[in-house]
């Protein structure tokens, strides 16, 4: 491949010529990750997805501050409250800063179900940095400041996404749930990563009988059906375990399958790279075996590792949600998207308070975004492929 | 046979190269790859990739190595540097520090020392450079790993090497993707030359290049040889290229050396029927009608299951009964001209026809 | 050249690849004339568009490639076929891809042998079944007849034990045998034109010699036209009657085989010929080694659109203001010797006027 063909791969057609003039030297001096990044940047969808995911994780990290309420707080008299509409114009038609109307509990005259009726005279402006439910930020600093909300003791609380059947704020719960649901994948991946690298590395490097055993284990694992095995293992977890232990046990279960793909990749790349000319050249240059593995071979499949890992992330997020939804993964009082859905699984809820299903689109978006990022990475990850 | 081989180089030294001595010499070099089958990896046979090959390379000369695909050229070249551990045989090398040593028996440390002076360049200009390292790291790797230079001195040496092979020293912070095939081959050459070696194994260094680029690299190889007093083992399948660059040429067939002679002698009056067929098959860029070609029958024998007697007998146009049963010896036919054929002295074989 | 002695004619063919990185003008105004019973050799450096020209003739250009202009005229009447639905003169570029006409032409009239013999055969089916398929696709014969035909073809290409090889899988054959089987497949329908794209590049010299010999014999038997693509000038000298030299998507010189070697006109052809090691030189020299001639610079990358003559940055006879401004026209510098180079323009003034006219 000639140099501009190569250049074009990273900056598009018209840009290629320009880029050649402007960034020629920068391009020639660009290392692997720089090239990967340039190529990834050309993948619009992946980039947008990456930004969306960044927002998701940001929210999960600062959940206490960003959520308007304590996710455990039950608002008496506001059970299954629908999302509070935000207005900027009052009944007289005057514009004012965003506000919400206070609501009164009433009964539907026809069905006699409890409903929440807005009171046009009770106006509660939305404020930034308001005092609300006390919390400990990251479990460390006690405070009660929230990013937004309505101020005052008897102000109408804001429920952007409504409350659930026992009066807890859905938005706050989604924010907190993201902590568990989004991190469980990452922890699972970390475990897969260590297992995959280690077992794949041993398999590829030593070969022989160890290799055979590991390969057979992988084959057996990959032929097992994923969801039923997860369910069996999750169901076997003692209910009385503390939340934290259940959490780690679940990640372990989720990563049972994650590492096999990675181990295969690592082994395959090791085996094929051992035969590469540049590895032989390094050996003849007098490089030690360790240097050859770390400096020559590992960077060569680092990108494959990333692809494999981002590929298994969505599966793990879905796995957690599915297990918790079925009531065999995490369970209350832990908050996760799966737990929220499990508590919403009631035809009554779906029919009358559809807003408790908000975790569904959130999970779907998270999984989709991970898939798009994965696609972008797959294309960008090996910038040296022709 | 081994005794006879022992004296090969001596004769050569006495008769032709008074001042010179062999830099590299192999004696009955053998590499057999096991063929494994089944779950238990039982060895069911051997690929005799290199089988009792003996040759020598004089200091400052280029020995061309030719032969059909799979005849063991690469394996031979790699055995010399012990990139592949030979099954048996000796590889003698005249190391400036260690003296005359048998590479097949060196320990790790000595091997590193010897590999300063014996280096290799590869066929594929893309696969042989790590795409993730800059030229500085690639060309500097042997200097660093062998403890020859580091830091500023390393950079200076790398710059000097790049300049030597016709690349600008400013390029050293660039990655291989900035370069074309021919330029990459120059980088590979710079890496090989970095520790100032005496001997280079060139495994088809121009086969992957276009004709015009090939000429540049061949010229560079010749210039460097003169400047630095290098010795080459030059593997190639293009016989015109081999003829152009080599002082002597060795011909292999199915893991065996079948003929060695000075270039002109080998091309003009080959002594082995396989060499004759090879010469006759060279496509010549010359439209004048040529005399009838010697076409070989059948297929190249498999090194896993070679024929009896002379390996070439099933395809040979001059085969006699003895050829089918007895393996011919690798004998000196005339001074410096060796052939492995029962009928080497009696046959009048034709070489390449020249216009002159 | 009258239509009678021409089987196919390529006129100003342009095949471009529109890739995200830019437009690759792989074939950019190629003219070729192919005659029955003769071999047209096509030489040129890697990437100059030899294969894409061949694929255009077969209408097999892979996407994102497209024939952008020009004509490929196929003269059907040269060798009349019995029951054919095709008209006498067909412009292949106008046929719909995958239309009935182009499929009838492919295999039946024009067939192709590729560089990589493995790629042309499916690894999972026997050699025989693949040849038989090629036969039954174009001819109305029974299974048994097709099999006999296949064995006959394998015998024709000098494969030993054809009745056994017919049931072998491609991987059971050596490289040379496989290439012969591929040739057998290509010839199984008596094509009028055989396009051979570097059919021997992957083979050893002795095997190459066998295959070249075989192709010459088959050509004499069938009176086939051959378009022989290679980058090896030696092979061209052996095989071709006429030669077209390509550089960056253009034919820069075309003439008969003797003239190209004895009297090359285009500076690129001249440089190319000088840069290959000559056996004669080696055999007659004594002592001193000779340096090879080289062409300065490198082939530019495929996205660059050079003004003027594509060879001008590397040309030793470069005339500034002319070569870097005006695209050289096709000039018949000598009878039947065509060259695209300003050196052979009737006069430099004329080139200059042309340039002014263009500006
Ligand atoms: N690691 C290996 N294991 C088993 N067999 C091998 C191995 N390496 C090479 N061989 C076999 O040894 C023989 C010689 O191979 P080698 O690569 O030396 O040939 P070569 O002359 O360099 O061929 P080419 O011209 O195709 O490069 C071949 O038959 C090959 O299949
Ligand atoms: N599928 C494709 N997509 C994009 N570009 C292509 C494609 N096929 C060929 N090209 C480009 O078209 C140009 C001509 O290619 P072509 O294969 O015809 O060259 P060639 O003369 O046959 O070279 P070689 O001797 O290497 O076979 C090259 O620049 C190549 O990069
Ligand atoms: S020994 Fe016999 S078979 Fe072998 S090359 Fe000589 S003549 Fe031919
Ligand atoms: Mg080889
Ligand atoms: Mg091609």
Q: Are residues C87 and C235 in the same domain?
A: yes
CA-wise closest residue to B312 among B239, B237, B254: B254
Q: Is the pLDDT of residue B3 over 50?
A: no
Is the per-residue pLDDT at A229 higher than 60? yes
Distance C301 CA to ligand 2 centre (A): 11
Between B210 and B232, residue with greater pLDDT: B232
Q: Do B219 and C271 touch (CB under 8 A)?
A: no
**Amino acid C1: pLDDT:** 40
Q: Are residues C295 and C233 in the same domain?
A: no
When CB atoms are compared, the residue of A5, A12, A13 closest to C301 is: A5
Lowest mean pLDDT among A1-15, A129-143, B172-186, C50-64: A1-15
C-alpha B79 – ligand 1 centre gap (Å): 12
Range with the poorest average pLDDT among A28-32, A221-225, A272-276, B85-89? A28-32
User: Which residue among C205, C271, C280 places its CB closest to the CB of B239?
Assistant: C205
Q: Give the nearest partner residue to B285 out of C174, C206, C276, using CB atoms.
A: C276
Residues 6+ apart with CB under 8 A from A265: A196, A200, A301, A304, A305, A308
Q: Which helix (H) or strand (E) holds B256?
A: strand B256-262
Q: Residue A246: pLDDT above 80?
A: no
Taking a C-beta distance cutoff of 8 angstroms, is the pair A330, A183 a contact? Answer: no
Residue B316 CA, closest ligand 3 atom number: 8
**If you search the block for the tokens 């049972």, which residue do you land on?**
A256
> Which range (A228-232, B10-14, C218-222) has the least confidence?
B10-14
Residues of C in contact with A12 (CB under 8 A): 20-21
Q: In this predicted model, which residue has the larger pLDDT, B132 or B18?
A: B132
B256-262: strand order across its sheet: B118-121, B199-203, B231-235, B62-67, B248-253, B256-262, B337-339, B331-334
Do β-strands B248-253 and C250-256 pair in parallel, antiparallel, or remain unpaired?
unpaired
**CB-based contact, C283 to chain B, within 8 Å:** yes
The β-bridge partners of C244 are: C42, C254
Q: What letters, b where the CB count within 10 A reaches 16 and e where it falls short, cover A280-298?
A: bbbbbbbbeeebbbebbbb
Question: How distant is the Cα of C24 from the closest Cα of chain A, in angstroms?
Answer: 10
Q: CA–CA separation, C223 vs C150, rounded Å? A: 20
Phi–psi pair at A244, nearest 5 degrees: -60, -40
Residues C135 and C87 in one domain: yes
DSSP H helices in C115-189: 117-120, 127-138, 143-156, 162-165, 175-187
**Cross-chain residue pair C21–A9, CB shorter than 8 Å:** yes
* Cross-chain residue pair B141–A3, CB shorter than 8 Å: no
Distance C39 CA to ligand 4 centre (A): 32
Q: Is C70 in the pocket of ligand 2 (CB under 6 A)?
A: no
Tell me if chain B has a CB within 8 Å of the CB of C292: yes
Question: A-side interface with C, Cβ within 8 Å?
Answer: 2-5, 7-9, 12-13, 16-17
Query: What CA–CA distances, in Å, run from C133 to B105, C136, C167, C179, C199?
Result: 58, 5, 14, 18, 22
Q: Residues C291, B222: contact at Cβ < 8 Å?
A: yes
C-alpha to C-alpha distance for B190 and B188, rounded to whole angstroms:
5
Q: How far apart are CA C53 and CA C31, in angstroms?
A: 10
- Pocket test residue of B30, B32, B33 for ligand 1, highest count of atoms within 8 A of CB: B33
Cβ contact C284–B356 (<8 Å): yes
* Right CATH for A172-380 from 1.20.210.10, 1.10.3720.10, 3.30.565.10, 3.40.50.720: 1.10.3720.10
How many C-beta atoms surround the C-beta of residue B312 within 10 A?
26
**Position C115 pLDDT exceeds 80:** no
Q: For residue C301, what pLDDT is reported? A: 76
Strand (E) or helix (H) holding A179: helix A170-206
Q: How far C22 CA sits from the closest chain A CA (Å)?
A: 4
**Contact C268 CB / ligand 2 (< 6 Å):** no
- Could you read off the pLDDT of B73-89 as tens digits, one per residue? 999 999 999 999 999 99
For residue C350, name the pLDDT band (cuts at 50, 70, 90). low
Say yes or no: C54 and C176 in one domain: yes
Give the per-residue pLDDT at B12.
44
Q: Which of chain A's residues have a Cβ under 8 Å away from the Cβ of B116?
A: 286
- For residue B318, which atom of ligand 3 is closest to its CA? 7
Cα C306 from Cα B21, distance rounded (Å): 54
Can you say how many angstroms the Cα of residue A372 is from the centroid of all Cα atoms in its chain? 13
Residue C103 belongs to some domain of the structure: yes
Probe site for chain A from B148, B177, B181, B191 (most A CB atoms < 10 A): B177
Give the pLDDT confidence of C75-105 residue by residue, as tens digits.
876 445 444 545 678 888 888 878 888 888 8
Cα of B356 from ligand 2 centre, angstroms: 40
* pLDDT in the model for residue C356: 61
Enumerate the β-bridge partners of residue B200: B119, B232
Given an 8 Å threshold on Cβ–Cβ distance, is B145 in contact with A287? Answer: yes
Mean pLDDT of chain B: 87
- The domain total for chain C is 2
Subunit contact A13:C301, Cβ cutoff 8 A: no
Chain A residue numbers with beta carbons less than 8 Å from the beta carbon of B142 are: 284-286
Split at pLDDT 50, 70, 90, the class of B318 is very high
Question: Chain C: residue nearest B267 by CA?
Answer: C283
A273 pLDDT more than 80? yes
- Alpha-carbon separation of residue B315 from B273, B274, B319, B324 (angstroms): 10, 9, 8, 11
Q: What is the mean pLDDT of chain A?
A: 78
Judged by CB atoms closer than 8 Å, whether chains meet at A16 and C19 is answered as no
Q: Is the peptide bond before C64 cis (omega within 30 degrees of 0)?
A: yes
Average pLDDT over residues B309-327: 93
* pLDDT value for C12: 92
* pLDDT classification of C229: cutoffs 50, 70, 90: very high
Q: Which domain holds residue C293?
A: 279-358
Q: What is the pLDDT of residues B282-303, one digit of tens each?
A: 888 887 776 677 888 877 788 8
For C126-163, what is each residue's pLDDT tens digit?
A: 888 988 888 888 778 888 989 998 998 888 887 878 88
Q: Is the dihedral of CA C297, C299, C301, C302 positive or negative?
A: positive
C-alpha to C-alpha distance for C123 and C209, rounded to whole angstroms: 26
Average pLDDT value for residue range B253-272: 94
Most B-contacting residue of C276, C288, C302 (CB-CB within 10 A), to test interface: C276
Neighbouring residues of B152: CB distance < 8 A, sequence distance ≥ 6: none
| All domains of chain B in start order, with CATH | 2-117+197-339 (3.40.50.300), 124-196 (no CATH)
What pLDDT score does A128 carry? 78
Cis status, amide bond into A242, omega within 30 of 0: no
Q: Which residues pair with B232 in a beta bridge?
A: B62, B200
Which of ligand 2's atoms lies nearest the C-alpha of C49? 18
Condensed to tens digits (0 to 9), the pLDDT of residues B93-119 reads 999 989 899 999 999 889 999 999 999
Q: Are C294 and C275 contacting, i.e. CB atoms less than 8 angstroms apart?
A: yes
Residue B37 has pLDDT above 50, yes or no: yes
Nearest CA in chain A to B132: A32
Optimal mutation site among A1, A4, A38, A383, interface C, most CBs of chain C within 10 A: A4
DSSP code for B207: T
Could you identify the atom of ligand 1 that is nearest to the CA of residue B302?
A: 29
Query: How many A from CA of B227 to the centre of ligand 4?
Result: 28
Give this prediction's pTM: 0.82
Same domain, C208 and C330: no
Classify burial at A89, counting beta carbons within 10 Å of its beta carbon; exposed 0-12, middle 13-18, buried 19 or more: exposed
Residue nearest to atom 1 of ligand 3 (CA): B341
Q: Do C237 and B286 touch (CB under 8 A)?
A: yes
CA-nearest of C257, C261, C259, C196 to C225 is C196
Atom of ligand 3 nearest to the CA of B323: 2
- At residue B11 the predicted structure's pLDDT band, cuts being 50, 70 and 90, is very low
Lowest mean pLDDT among B219-223, C184-188, C308-312: C184-188
Which CATH number covers residue C128? 3.40.50.300
User: How far B1 CA sits from the closest chain A CA (Å)?
Assistant: 32
Pairing of strands B248-253, B62-67: parallel
Map residue B163 onto helix, strand or coil: helix
**Same-domain status, C47 and C134:** yes
A197-206 average pLDDT score: 84
Longest dimension (CA), chain A: 89
pLDDT at A313 over 90: no
For A75, counting Cβ atoms within 10 Å of its Cβ (0-12 exposed, 13-18 middle, 19+ buried), the class is middle
Cα C192 to ligand 1 centre (Å): 40
Question: Best mutation site among B68, B213, B214, B285 for testing chain C: the one with the most C CBs within 10 Å?
Answer: B285
Decide if C236 contacts C41 (C-beta within 8 A).
Answer: yes
Mean pLDDT of C319-345: 88
Closest residue to atom 3 of ligand 3, CA basis: B313
Place of tokens 């509409």: A85
Quick: pLDDT tens for B128-140: 999 889 999 999 9
Give the model's pLDDT for residue B292: 74
Of C240, C258, C287, which one is at a domain's C-terminal end? Answer: C240
Query: Is C268 contained in some domain?
Result: no
Q: Are A374 and A362 in contact (CB under 8 A)?
A: no
CA of C325 to the centre of ligand 5 (A): 29
**For strand C337-339 and strand B199-203, is the pairing parallel, antiparallel, or unpaired?**
unpaired
C53: helix, strand or coil: helix
Bridging pattern class, strands C89-91 and B199-203: unpaired
Residue B211 has its nearest CB partner, among C237, C260, C275, at C275
Do residue C303 and residue A5 have CB atoms under 8 angstroms apart? yes
Q: Is residue C255 part of a domain?
A: no
Does C296 contact chain B (CB < 8 Å)? no
**A-chain residues within 8 Å CB-CB of C20?**
8, 12-13
- Residue A4, pLDDT above cutoff 70: no
A363 pLDDT above the threshold of 80: yes
pLDDT of A15 over the 80 cut: no
**Contact with chain A for residue C297, Cβ under 8 A:** no
Q: Determine, for residues B212 and C237 on separate chains, whether the beta-carbon distance falls below 8 Å.
A: no
- Going by alpha carbons, the residue nearest to atom 13 of ligand 2 is C26
pLDDT at C297: 80
Residues C228 and C311 in one domain: no
> Which residues surround ligand 1 with Cβ inside 6 Å?
B 33, 47, 49, 67, 69-75, 237, 303
Instruction: Indicate the angle between helix axes C175-187 and C205-222, nearest 10 degrees.
Output: 10
Q: Distance (Å, rounded) from C-alpha C24 to C-alpha A337?
A: 51
Where would I find the beta strands (DSSP E) of A39-113? 87-89, 95-107
Residue B38 pLDDT greater than 60, yes or no: yes
Answer whether A277's CB lies under 8 Å from B122's CB.
yes
Question: How many CB atoms lie under 10 A from the CB of residue A187?
Answer: 17
- Least-confidence region, from A104-118, A131-145, B187-201, B258-272: A104-118
The subunits that touch chain A, with at least 3 C-beta pairs less than 8 Å apart, are: B, C
Please state, rounded to an integer, the average pLDDT across all residues of chain C.
84
**Ligand 2 centroid distance, CA of C49 (Å):** 6
**What residue ranges do the domains of chain A occupy?**
76-165, 172-380
Give the strands of the sheet with C337-339, arranged side by side.
Answer: C110-113, C193-197, C225-229, C39-44, C242-247, C250-256, C337-339, C331-334
The pLDDT value given to residue C355: 53
């Amino acid at each position: 491949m000639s140099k501009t063909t190569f250049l074009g791969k990273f900056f598009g057609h018209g840009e290629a010529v320009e880029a050649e003039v402007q960034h020629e030297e920068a391009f020639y001096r660009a290392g692997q990750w720089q090239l990967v990044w340039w190529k990834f940047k050309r993948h619009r969808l992946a980039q947008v997805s990456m930004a969306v995911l960044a927002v998701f994780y940001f929210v999960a990290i600062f959940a206490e501050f960003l959520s308007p309420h304590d996710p455990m707080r039950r608002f008496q008299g506001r059970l299954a409250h629908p999302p509070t509409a935000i207005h900027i114009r009052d009944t007289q038609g005057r514009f004012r800063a965003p506000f919400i109307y206070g609501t009164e509990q009433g009964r539907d005259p026809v069905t006699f179900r409890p409903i929440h009726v807005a009171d046009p005279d009770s106006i509660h402006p939305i404020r930034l940095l308001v005092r609300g439910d006390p919390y400990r930020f990251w479990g460390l600093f006690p405070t009660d400041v929230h990013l937004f909300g309505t101020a005052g003791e008897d102000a109408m609380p804001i429920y952007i996404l409504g409350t659930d059947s026992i009066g807890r704020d859905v938005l706050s719960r989604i924010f907190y749930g993201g902590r568990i649901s989004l991190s469980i994948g990452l922890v699972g991946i970390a475990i897969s990563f260590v297992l995959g690298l280690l077992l794949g590395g041993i398999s590829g490097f030593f070969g022989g009988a160890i290799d055979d055993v590991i390969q057979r284990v992988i084959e057996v694992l990959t032929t097992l059906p994923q969801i039923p095995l997860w369910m069996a293992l999750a169901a076997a977890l003692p209910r009385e375990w503390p939340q934290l232990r259940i959490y780690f046990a679940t990640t372990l279960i989720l990563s049972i399958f994650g590492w096999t793909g990675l181990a295969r990749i690592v082994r395959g790349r090791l085996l094929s790279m051992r035969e590469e000319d540049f590895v032989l050249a390094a050996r003849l240059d007098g490089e030690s075996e360790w240097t050859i593995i770390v400096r020559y071979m590992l960077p060569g499949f680092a990108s494959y590792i990333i692809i494999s890992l981002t590929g298994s992330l969505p599966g793990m997020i879905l796995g957690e949600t599915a297990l918790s939804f079925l009531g065999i993964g995490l369970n209350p009082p832990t908050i996760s998207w799966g737990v929220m859905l499990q508590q919403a699984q009631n035809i009554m809820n779906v029919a009358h308070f559809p807003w408790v299903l908000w975790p569904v689109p959130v999970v779907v978006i998270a999984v989709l975004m991970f898939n798009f990022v994965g696609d972008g990475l797959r294309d960008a990850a090996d910038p040296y492929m022709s | 046979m081994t005794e006879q081989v022992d004296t090969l180089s001596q004769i050569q030294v006495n008769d032709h190269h008074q001042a010179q001595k062999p830099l590299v010499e192999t004696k009955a070099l053998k590499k057999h790859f096991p063929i494994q089958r089944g779950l238990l990896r039982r060895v069911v046979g051997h690929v005799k990739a290199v089988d009792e090959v003996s040759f020598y390379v004089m200091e400052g000369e280029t020995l061309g190595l030719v032969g059909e695909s799979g005849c063991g050229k690469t394996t031979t070249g790699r055995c010399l540097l012990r990139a592949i551990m030979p099954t048996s045989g000796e590889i003698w090398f005249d190391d400036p520090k260690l003296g005359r040593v048998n590479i097949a028996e060196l320990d790790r440390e000595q091997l590193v020392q010897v590999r300063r002076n014996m280096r290799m360049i590869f066929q594929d200009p893309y696969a042989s450079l790590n795409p993730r390292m800059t030229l500085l790291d690639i060309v500097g790797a042997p200097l660093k790993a062998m403890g020859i230079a580091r830091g500023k001195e390393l950079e200076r040496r790398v710059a000097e090497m790049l300049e030597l092979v016709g690349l600008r020293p400013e390029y050293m912070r660039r990655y291989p993707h900035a370069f074309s095939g021919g330029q990459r081959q120059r980088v590979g050459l710079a890496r090989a030359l970095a520790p100032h070696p005496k001997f280079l194994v060139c495994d088809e260094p121009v086969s992957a290049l276009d004709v015009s680029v090939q000429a540049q690299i061949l010229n560079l190889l010749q210039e460097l040889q003169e400047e630095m007093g290098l010795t080459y083992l030059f593997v190639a399948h293009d016989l015109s290229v081999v003829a152009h660059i080599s002082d002597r040429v060795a011909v292999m067939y199915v893991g065996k050396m079948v003929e060695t002679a000075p270039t002109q002698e080998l091309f003009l009056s080959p002594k082995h029927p396989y060499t004759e067929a090879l010469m006759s098959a060279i496509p010549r860029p010359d439209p004048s009608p040529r005399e009838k070609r010697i076409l070989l029958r059948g297929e190249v024998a498999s090194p896993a299951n070679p024929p009896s007697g002379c390996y070439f007998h099933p395809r040979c146009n001059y085969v006699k009964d003895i050829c089918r049963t007895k393996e011919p010896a690798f004998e000196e036919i005339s001074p410096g001209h060796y052939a492995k054929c029962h009928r080497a002295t009696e046959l009048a074989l034709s070489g390449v026809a020249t216009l002159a | 050249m009258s239509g009678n002695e021409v089987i196919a004619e390529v006129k100003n063919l342009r095949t471009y690849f529109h890739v995200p990185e830019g437009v690759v003008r792989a074939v950019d105004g190629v003219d070729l004339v192919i005659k029955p019973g003769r071999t047209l050799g096509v030489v040129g450096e890697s990437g100059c568009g030899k294969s894409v020209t061949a694929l255009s003739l077969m209408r097999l250009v892979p996407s994102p490639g497209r024939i952008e202009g020009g004509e490929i005229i196929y003269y059907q009447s040269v060798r009349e076929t019995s029951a054919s639905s095709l008209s006498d003169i067909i412009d292949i570029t106008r046929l719909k891809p995958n239309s009935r006409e182009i499929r009838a032409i492919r295999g039946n009239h024009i067939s192709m042998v590729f560089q990589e013999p493995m790629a042309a055969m499916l690894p999972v089916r026997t050699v025989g079944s693949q040849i038989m398929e090629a036969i039954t696709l174009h001819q109305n014969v029974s299974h048994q007849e097709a099999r006999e035909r296949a064995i006959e073809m394998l015998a024709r290409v000098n494969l030993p034990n054809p009745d056994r090889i017919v049931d072998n899988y491609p991987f059971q054959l050596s490289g040379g045998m496989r290439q012969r089987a591929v040739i057998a497949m290509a010839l199984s329908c008596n094509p009028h034109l055989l396009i051979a794209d570097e059919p021997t590049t992957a083979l050893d010299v002795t095997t190459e010699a066998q295959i070249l010999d075989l192709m010459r014999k088959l050509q004499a038997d069938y009176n086939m036209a051959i378009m022989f693509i290679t980058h090896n000038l030696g092979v061209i000298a052996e095989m071709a009657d006429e030669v077209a030299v390509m550089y960056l998507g253009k034919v820069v010189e075309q003439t008969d085989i003797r003239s190209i070697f004895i009297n090359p006109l285009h500076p690129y052809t001249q440089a190319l010929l000088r840069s290959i090691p000559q056996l004669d030189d080696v055999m007659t020299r004594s002592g001193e080694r000779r340096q090879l001639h080289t062409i300065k610079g490198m082939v530019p990358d495929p996205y660059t659109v050079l003004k003027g003559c594509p060879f001008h940055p590397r040309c030793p006879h470069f005339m500034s203001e002319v070569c870097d401004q005006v695209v050289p026209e096709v000039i018949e510098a000598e009878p039947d010797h065509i060259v695209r180079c300003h050196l052979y323009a009737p006069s430099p003034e004329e080139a200059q006027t042309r340039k002014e006219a263009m500006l």
